[in-house]
Amino acid sequence: MGNPVKQPKLAGVVGFFDSASSLMEATKKVKAANYESFDCFTPYPVHGLEKAQGLKRSPLPFVTLGAGLTGFMTAMLLQGWTSVIDWPLNVGGKPLWSWPAFVPIFFELTILFAGLCTVGAMFLLNGFPNTKKRAFDNNITRDRFALMIDAPALKSAEELHEMDDADVVKYQARLAKFKAFEESEAKTYLSSVGAHEVKSVEARGWFE
Amino acid sequence: MSKVLSLVVGGVVLVVVGVSVASVLPRTSNQGYSPTQPIPFSHKLHAGTNKVPCQYCHSDVEKSRHASIPSTAVCMNCHKLVKTDSPLIKQVAAAWAENRAIEWVRIHELPDFVYFPHKRHVAAGVSCQTCHGEIQTMDKVYQFGALTMGWCMECHKGRSTPSNVLEFMEAKGHPNGEGLVAPIQCQTCHY
Amino acid sequence: MSENLNSTRPNTDTPFQQPRHWIGTEELSATYWSDPATLEKRSQEFHDKPIETLEMIERLDTKGIKRRDFLTLMGASMAMASFACARRPVHKIIPYVVKPEEVTGGIANYYATVCPETGYGLLAKVREGRPIKLEGNPDHPMNRGKLSARNQAQILDLYDMDRAKEPLKVSRGKGSKAAKWEDVDAEIGGKLKTIAAGSGRVRVLSGRMVSESTKRLTTEFLAGFAGGAHLEYDPISLEDMADGQAEAYGSAIIPNYHFDQAEVVLSLGADFLGSWVSPVEFALDWSKMRKLDGNKAASAKMSKLFVAESMMTVTGANADSRFPVRPGDELKIGAAIANEVAKKKGGVPAALASYTIEAVSADTGVDAKLLKEAAEALLEAAGKSIVVAGGLSSKTATAPGLQAIANFLNSTLGNDGKTVDGTGSPFTKVGGRYADVAKLISEMNSGAVDALIIYRTNPVYTLPASTGFTAALTRVPLVISISDREDETALLSDFVLPDHHFLENWGDAMPKKGVVAIQQPALAPIHSTRSFQDSLIALAKASGVKTKGLLASASATGWYDYLRANWKETILKGGSFDTAWENVLRDGIVKSASAGSSARSFKTSALAAVPAFSKAADGLVLATYDKVGMGDGLRANNPWLQELPDAITTATWDNYVAISPKLAEASALKSDDVVEISNGSETIALPVYVQPGLHASTVAMAIGYGRTAAGKVGNEVGRDVKGFAAVAGTRLAFSGASVKMTKTGRRYQVATTQWHNATEDRPIVNDITLAEFKANPKEANHTDPHLRMETSSIWPKFEYKGNRWGMSIDLSACTGCSACVIACQSENNIPVVGRDNVRKSREMHWIRIDRYYSGSAENPDVVFQPMVCQHCENAPCETVCPVLATIHDNEGMNTQVYNRCVGTRYCQNNCPYKVRRFNFFDHWKAYEGSMNLAWNPDVTVRSRGIMEKCTFCTQRIRDAKDKAKDEARKVLDADLKTACQQTCPTDAISFGNINNPEAEVSKLKLDPRAFRVLEVLNTQPAVSYLSKVRNKEGEQKHHGAGAEAGGEHHG
């Protein structure tokens, strides 16, 4: 009768810690436990946490470098073409290619491109725009430390049937690499590594 | 992937909208201006069909910066005898008889701070049509060229220069500098 | 090396030493430099908060009327039409009905004409039917292509909005009504008929008339009346000279002086370089003896100028040896020198015996050694020297004696017949005498004058009240004023018949024997005016009087026909008249060979005019003088002349009382303090101006101010000092009266420009003596840093292929006459800003004459430096413009693009020469109505917010290049003269293509005397200056006596 209630999907389980150090300990353990994916949430950057998490270095610096160089070249082309090639003007007896006068624009466009692209790239790398996930606790940015173990995206039997064999093998190989995730097991585990509160997190998007 | 795609599509849309808006904003040039004259003089008839040379009427163009609008006397040179019964010619004859100047509406006008010498351009071989369009086909004169600084500079920089002028300056050895047809110093036109 | 560039006081670390070149006496005292107010004032670029005077400024009230500035525009006087949302306005383009053959739009025609006051030949540059610029006629033997500041300004008088535009019935000051020509002719004609019938007396009173045809017409007109007479009167009259010449030599002429052949010149009060007799001509000739070639320094020769004067004038400023004296004491100086000269040449006449050098030196304060030196120099140059005397400041009761002494000296030295030409080509039109006017006044008072026609003179303004002219005027039944406006005299007459401006009229001029010039109109009359000559002809017809001569014959149908008839009869006799006439119209002058001159015999009876020597009384003596710009004040409504900074005082818009620094100190007075000058019957209040180089007893004031009916511009400017002129027998003595000076405690800021630019002892100007020059033509003042500096650059210089424009200014030749300032203003549409804006340093002149003193305050040396945009290669202004409105073009000029300028004013800030002028307001709007015809159409008119500066007359360069391109050749010197260069009477300015080694300017730049201003800044200016050389022995004294290095302080 009525509309069928949609079964909430599980995003994962989260354990709350009361200090950075306990979170750090827990992270090392969870990493060692070989879950496929988990993440730490802290109100402030904790030194060494990303290493404990095993995160790879961000490619952002390369974006900055590339964008900065692009900015520099743009400035050089802009000023060079206008001042030397298109409309050469003798201003105060200074040479046409007056690089000391161009330096502020070099600097400015380098910084501009680098800055804007870095910010943009960081947003993209951070997964923005993101309407699929919702914060599970509003106090994460205030005073809570959390560690969330994600529930892997499991394919259902129908989906498995539709996939190619090679893909199925890949999928299963992927699953095999990591520890299998099970909700209550994971919860218990989190409590065991020091979480004072553990709960499950629903997968909810912004608009749900 | 869809994020990047949406960004790219958003950017393209933005550019398209911007260009369309800019293209319908009013221009700063008077290109296309075609006012009604007190007497509907037809260049098509005179310069086109009857092949009266431009300099016959606009006689100062080789001597000074102004091309000069012809005096009524120039009209009467022919129209004392030619088509005297036409009502339009009668208007000219009336002005002549009353010693009253004919007040033409000015089409091609440059701001006060621009100095443009017809004489030098004519001497360099620039034809009337280059800037004024195919006047000899116009019944009602309209402004063909943009007459903006950028438009002038295109020719001065050798980008839209007619070939005969290019040859002329080539023969003179590019006195204005390499690759330049005519001077691009600010003071060339603004003083 | 360059630390001192940032100090506002020279030698901050050493004991105070006065600056080498100073602007005012304030700079000579150590306390001035240590006063923090000084530092603040000098560091302001715009003096909008003049510190000590702001609270105390009081506008001089005249009869309760607030003095108005010349149209201070606060942007509220006119609303600007906004086109922002409006459609493009419809503009008409209107051709001729019949285009005259000689008119091509955009191309100027030049008409030769002549100035009827001076007789100088002019070329009127006419564009589209109206004259826009006056140049000298190179073929005219007097001014030879040059003009003075006043001549250049005459073009604006043509378009003056305050001109009378139609005949007026004036009713003697009770209000004027416009009338029609036919009506006034009929009315006046009727009255004149009655007068003629009753054998009445008609008088024509005019200014000096150099037109013989007009004189003939006037005489013939007056011949129709039983008692008709024509007399001439000018406030600045040559009567003393003419009478002196008559006494000494028998004929009342003024000799022609060949200054280009004079090795020694002694001037007793005569400002022959500025305003006396024929200054353009004299300056042109005099400068020929002052030019020096640095490459031939060792054998250099130049003339020597001795000047004795009471008020510092342009001539005195250029003197090699100057004697500041009381007004009237020029006679004593002249007599002492004559005494000394006569000792060696035939014995001292009795009249001069009492004027020994010792006695005169003791009485006047002039060093006896200097007087002896002058006498010796004259003796050495006997036959090759000139003595001139005259001028308003020496027009005392003893002026005739002064002339007698000058004539005596010239004859004794054998100058007469050689450098002084009284027979070959003297000035024959000498104007009238006050004695004639006095006679007229008594005739008027006794009712013996029935009609008085006043033409081009303004006796109600120019004659002092003590002469009684104004009162006598009321006794004349019919007074007709033929003038260009409702001036003071016109307001008290019955009719005003407005006269043409000379550019609208035919005429001729014969100022000198052998000089015959034609005056032809350059445009049709703008208003409903009629020439004086046509008015006489019309009145003769209307009154029906019996006339004689040409006026009676059938050809007198108008002035033009009369003129031609007269010329046919008297000048162009024989041959084809029409061809000869056309030739004269083209040349402007009847070419004739110059006549030689012979010596005249001097009548010693002339010396009877010399009074016996008597010691000068104590107390202040008044000198009245005429300024180079304003003259007699009849042009007071000309804003260019009002705003022209006086060459000596740099004051604009006002007159003042000039006193010496000694007198100022003794009376505890500073410049701008208002004092009252009184001679017992007249009192006048004027601000003080501390003028170095004056005698301590001299008090000097300029005439030509305080007008009440000049027009919007000239009314209530300054104060009228003519009341101090006294009748002395048959003459008017303008100077020499005893006066008292009382402080009032008020202050009034005279708008001077001198403090707007100061040297701070930087290497800006260089002046040396002839001895130093001969030893080393590169001799330079030891400024710190040095005058000529080697500078290096971190980048290579631009190459200028083709033309490269440069200028050289000879400081030795510049007399400070300021003709270039007005010529530039006329050529380049430079606006007038008014008194308040000049006070705020916002004057707009593109070329300014900086005037520096050096030496002692009591008798300083003066050097003038014309300062224009230096067109620096490494221009500091170009670097800082945020919108690149000013850049360097490929011909070496710094260009200003008006439409690009947004008015940041950073360029003006950065210019070390302070030559950039900013339009703070829409000054162009001040040109109302017909004044707009004066604009030069080749130069953009700048609006508010635009920066402008000298462009080396780029429009003239363009025309020259255009012409050269037509003829497929390079631009030559002859094609091109900037406005300042063209009018400079002494050819001080030289301009041309420095890439052409044959050009004059290229050679001058290589002269060892050449230097550039502030070269240490490495701006690489395109303008170089040639050091000023004074004909003195020894070293150039820069620091006054008593202020040696490490020595005492002043004041």
pLDDT tens digits along C783-834: 778 888 888 888 898 999 889 999 999 999 999 999 999 999 999 999 999 9
Cα of B71 to nearest chain C Cα, Å: 5
- The verdict on residue B23 lying in a domain is no
Residue of chain B whose alpha carbon sits nearest to that of A129: B3
pLDDT in tens, C120-178: 999 999 998 899 999 999 999 999 999 999 999 999 999 999 999 999 999 888 888 99
- Predicted local distance difference test score (pLDDT) of residue C556: 66
The verdict on residue B109 lying in a domain is: yes
Domain count for chain B, please give it: 1
Separation CA B183–CA B7 (nearest Å): 46
| Interface residues on B facing C, Cβ-Cβ cutoff 8 A | 30, 33, 35, 60, 63-66, 68-74, 95-96, 99-106, 109, 111-115, 117, 119-120, 123, 175, 177, 183, 185-187, 190-191
Q: Which residues of A touch B176 (CB under 8 A)?
A: none
Binned at pLDDT 50, 70 and 90, residue C41 comes out as: confident
Q: Which residues of A touch B3 (CB under 8 A)?
A: 124, 129
Selecting from B3, B157, B186 the residue whose C-beta is nearest the C-beta of A124 gives B3
Query: How close is the nearest chain B Cα to the Cα of A130, in Å?
Result: 9
Quick: pLDDT tens for A147-160.
999 888 777 888 88
- Give the distance from residue B30's alpha carbon to the nearest chain C alpha carbon, in angstroms: 9
> Which of B148-152, C670-674, C780-784, C967-971 is the least confident region?
C780-784
* Banded model confidence at residue C5, pLDDT cuts 50, 70, 90: very low
Is there a domain that residue B97 lies in?
A: no
A82, A83, A91: best to mutate for the C interface, most C CBs within 10 A: A91
C91 and B106: CB-CB below 8 Å?
yes
The alpha-carbon gap from C888 to the nearest alpha carbon of chain A, in Å, equals 5
Contacts of A124 in chain B (CB under 8 A): 3-4
Q: Around Cβ A74, how many Cβ atoms within 10 Å?
A: 16
Work out the mean pLDDT of chain C and round it to a whole number: 89
Q: Which residue has the tokens 């003697």?
A: C172
The pLDDT of residue C71: 37
Burial readout C99-116 (b: 16 or more C-beta within 10 A, e: otherwise): beeeebbbbbbbbbbbbb
Average pLDDT over residues C996-1020: 94
Angle at C819 between CA C818 and CA C824, to 5 degrees: 100
Whether pLDDT at C85 is above 50 = no
Amino acid found at C431? G
CB-CB contact of C329 with C397 (8 Å):
no
d(CA C223, CA C856): 61
pLDDT band at A162 (very low <50, low <70, confident <90, very high): confident
pLDDT of amino acid A127: 84
Residue spans of the domains in chain C: they are: 3-43+756-760+807-1030, 109-158, 168-237+431-587, 240-287+303-421, 617-752
Q: Region C866-874: what's the mean pLDDT?
A: 96
User: How big is chain B by its Cα radius of gyration, in Å?
Assistant: 22
Closest-approach residue (CA) in chain A for B184: A87
Chain C residues contacting A, CB < 8 Å? Answer: 793, 795-798, 872-879, 881, 884, 887-890, 1020
C617-752 CATH fold: Barwin-like endoglucanases (2.40.40)
Contacting residues of C for B117, CB less than 8 Å apart: 962
Residue A3: the pLDDT is: 56
Q: What does the alpha-carbon distance between residue C12 and residue C835 come to, in Å, rounded to a whole number?
A: 35
Query: Is a pLDDT exceeding 50 seen at residue C1050?
Result: no
Per CB-CB distance under 8 Å, the chain A contacts of C796 are 95
The CATH architecture assigned to C168-237+431-587 reads 3-Layer(aba) Sandwich (3.40)
Beta strand C673-678 with C683-690 is antiparallel
Query: Which has the closest alpha carbon to C538: C492, C499, C567?
Result: C499
* Residue from the list C797, C875, C890 with its beta carbon closest to the beta carbon of A92: C875
Contact (Cβ atoms closer than 8 angstroms) between residue C694 and residue C762 = no
Q: Has residue B10 been placed in a domain? A: no
Residues 109-128 of A with CB under 8 A from B: 124
Cα separations in angstroms, B165 against A74, B124, B171, C95, C273: 35, 6, 10, 30, 54
Residues of C in Cβ contact (< 8 Å) with B95:
97
In this predicted structure, the answer to whether residue C107 has a pLDDT above a threshold of 70 is yes
3-state secondary structure C134-158: EEECCCCCCCCCCCCHHHHHHHHHH
Distance CA(C262)–CA(C302), nearest Å, equals 10
> For residue A128, is pLDDT > 90?
no
Contacting residues of C for A95, CB less than 8 Å apart: 795-796
Contacts of C895 in chain A (CB under 8 A): none
Query: Does a structural domain hold residue B120?
Result: yes
In this complex, the residue of B3, B157, B186 whose CB is nearest that of residue A129 is B3
Residue B18 forms part of a structural domain: no
Q: Give the pLDDT band of residue C1012 (cuts 50, 70, 90).
A: very high
Side chain identity at residue C881, one-letter code? C
pLDDT at residue C58, rounded to an integer: 38
Q: Rounded to a whole number, what is the distance in angstroms from the first to the last CA of chain B?
A: 58
At residue C448, does pLDDT exceed 60? Answer: yes
CA distance C189 to C370: 64
Instruction: Report in angstroms the alpha-carbon separations of C368 from A115, C341, C561, C988.
Output: 85, 14, 61, 34
Return the higher-pLDDT residue of C1051 and C69.
C69
Q: Work out the pLDDT band at C555, boundaries 50, 70, 90.
A: low
Q: Is C736 within 8 Å of C325 (Cβ atoms)?
A: no
Q: Which CATH architecture has domain C240-287+303-421?
A: 3-Layer(aba) Sandwich (3.40)
Local confidence band at C993 (pLDDT 50, 70, 90 cut-offs): very high
C584, C517 Cβ separation under 8 angstroms: no
Name the strand (E) or helix (H) holding C809: strand C805-810
Do residues C1004 and C1010 touch, judged by C-beta distance below 8 A?
yes
Residue C251: HSE in the Cβ half-sphere, 13 Å Cα cutoff: 13
Residues of chain C that touch chain B, judged by Cβ-Cβ distance less than 8 Å = 88, 90-99, 104-107, 802, 887, 889-891, 893, 895, 897-900, 938-941, 951, 954-955, 958, 962, 965-966
* pLDDT for position A5: 59
C253 pLDDT more than 60: yes
pLDDT tens digits, C484-499: 999 999 999 999 999 9
- State whether CATH 3.20.20.70 applies to domain C3-43+756-760+807-1030: no
Contact list in B for residue A86 (CB cut-off 8 A) is 157
- Shortest distance between the Cα of A76 and any Cα of chain C, in A, equals 19
Residues spanned by the domain of B62: 43-69+104-189
Res C781: pLDDT:
82
B114 lies in a domain?
Answer: yes
The pair of structure tokens assigned to C248 is 């000494």
Helix (H) or strand (E) holding C227: strand C227-232
Which residue segments constitute the domains of chain A, with CATH numbers given? 10-57+132-157+183-202 (3.30.70), 60-125 (no CATH)
Show residues of chain C in contact with B106, CB under 8 Å: 91-93
Domain covering C109-158 assigned CATH 2.20.25 in the classification: yes
Alpha helical stretches, state H, C469-589? 469-473, 488-491, 532-543, 549-552, 559-570, 577-587
Position C303 pLDDT exceeds 70? yes
Q: Examine the pLDDT at C65 and tell me if it is beyond 70.
A: no
Q: What is the pLDDT of residue C380?
A: 96
The residue of A87, A91, A116, A131 whose CB has the most chain B CBs within 10 angstroms, and thus the best one to mutate to test that interface, is A87
A90 and chain B in contact, CB less than 8 A: no
Between CA B54 and CA B41 the distance in angstroms is 14
Instruction: Name the CA radius of gyration of chain C, rounded.
Output: 29
Rg (CA), chain A: 26
Burial of C582 (0-12, 13-18, 19+ CB in 10 A): exposed
Residue C1013 CB partners (closer than 8 Å, separation 6+): C763, C764, C765, C867, C870, C913, C1021, C1023, C1025
C884/A89 CB distance under 8 A: yes
Asked whether the beta carbons of residue A91 and residue C878 sit closer than 8 angstroms, the reply is: yes
Distance CA C763, CA C754 (A): 18
Q: Output DSSP code: residue C784.
A: S
pLDDT at position C1045 = 38
Look at residue A9 in the predicted model and tell me its pLDDT: 81
Beta carbons of B184 and A87 less than 8 Å apart: yes
Whether the pLDDT of residue A2 is over 60: the answer is: no
Q: CA of B37: which chain C residue's CA is closest?
A: C92
Reading the block at residue C897, the tokens are 């693009």
Give the DSSP H/E element, type plus range, for residue C1023.
Answer: strand C1023-1026
Beta-carbon contacts below 8 Å between A and C: 38
DSSP summary character for residue C504? G
pLDDT of residue C263: 97
Residue C154 half-sphere exposure toward CB, CA atoms < 13 A: 25
The Cα of B154 is separated from the nearest Cα of chain A by a number of Å equal to 11
Partner-chain contact C795 A95, CB within 8 Å = yes
Confidence tier at C48 by pLDDT (50, 70, 90) = low
Taking the Cβ of residue A100 and every Cβ of chain C, the question of whether any pair is shorter than 8 Å is answered with no
pLDDT digits 0-9 by tens, B108-158:
999 889 999 999 999 999 999 999 999 999 999 999 998 999 999 999 988
C34 phi and psi angles, rounded to 5 deg: -90, -5
pLDDT along chain B (191 residues), means of 10: 78 90 73 92 95 94 92 94 93 95 94 92 92 94 92 90 87 78 90 87
Q: Where is C375: in which H helix or E strand?
A: helix C368-380
Element (H, E) at A202: strand A197-202
As a whole number, mean pLDDT of residues C874-903 equals 95
Rounded Cα gap, residues C347 and C363, in angstroms: 24
- Per-residue pLDDT at A20 exceeds 80: yes
Residue A140: Cβ-neighbour burial (10 angstroms; 0-12, 13-18, 19+): middle
In angstroms, the CA C519 to CA C505 distance is 7
Q: CB atoms < 10 A from the CB of C589, how many? A: 21
pLDDT tens figures, A26-85: 999 999 988 888 999 999 999 999 899 988 888 999 999 999 999 999 999 999 999 998
